């Protein structure tokens, strides 16, 4: 949904919001925020995975798993 909102022009989006009731506008914005939060969560997991892999802890058998 966020992609659709960004795809339309700002004026068109502003007009669409103006035509909605306050509750509809709030629901629309909450959906956008929820979608953005899901994307942020995915990106954060990817960053953690990359950091762990870089330290040698991302995959079994890597340098971090070597016996002393």
Q: Where are the domains of the chain?
A: 2-54
Mean pLDDT, range 15-35, rounded to an integer: 89
Element (H, E) at 8: none
Q: What is the pTM of this model?
A: 0.53
Please report, rounded to a whole number, the percentage of residues in the chain having pLDDT higher than 90.
50
What confidence score (pLDDT) does residue 68 get? 44
**Helix, strand or coil, per DSSP, at residue 64:** helix
Cα 21 from chain centre = 27
Residue with token string 């954060």? 44
Instruction: Say which DSSP state 62 is in.
Output: S
Asked if the model's pLDDT at residue 67 lies above 50, the reply is no
């Amino acid at each position: 949904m966020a992609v659709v909102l960004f795809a339309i022009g700002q004026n068109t989006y502003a007009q669409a919001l103006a035509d909605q009731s306050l509750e509809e506008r709030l629901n629309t914005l909450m959906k956008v925020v929820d979608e953005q939060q899901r994307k942020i969560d995915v990106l954060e997991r990817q960053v953690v995975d990359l950091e762990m892999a870089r330290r040698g802890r991302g995959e079994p058998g890597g340098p971090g798993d070597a016996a002393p």
